[in-house]
Amino acid sequence: MRQRDLIQWYVAQQNEKHNYNSMEEAPTDVSKVKAIIQSLVRREGHLIVVYDGRQAAESEVVAQPTSVFRNEGIVSVMPSFMSSIEEAKLLRP
């Protein structure tokens, strides 16, 4: 799933639940979600970047900022993390 699509889905869910009291809260929430995704990739290792958008950008003449790569990046749940979730389900009574 593209990081951009994941963030848009999350913000839409929060908006449907009326969790935003003002228009200024959504951009702040987006920054937090990006930081969480980055942490899940870099620190926790629960998410992996399958495609970071750089391959397409390398063929373009105009250089794009790193934030574009992050937004266009495709992230996936680490297979070993999914395995641990499945094991936990099996161990439940």
Q: How many CB atoms neighbour CB 38 within 10 A?
A: 14
Q: How high is the mean pLDDT of the chain?
A: 78
The Cα-based distances of 63 to 2, 26, 32, 51, 66 in angstroms read: 20, 28, 26, 18, 9
What is the predicted pLDDT for the residue at 65?
41
pLDDT over 80 (residue 60) = no
How many whole angstroms separate alpha carbon 81 and alpha carbon 60? 35
Q: For 3-47, what is each residue's pLDDT tens digit?
A: 999 999 999 999 999 999 998 899 999 999 999 998 988 888 888
What pLDDT band is residue 73 in, cutting at 50, 70 and 90?
confident
Q: Note the pTM of the prediction, 2 decimals.
A: 0.67
What is the predicted pLDDT for the residue at 61?
40
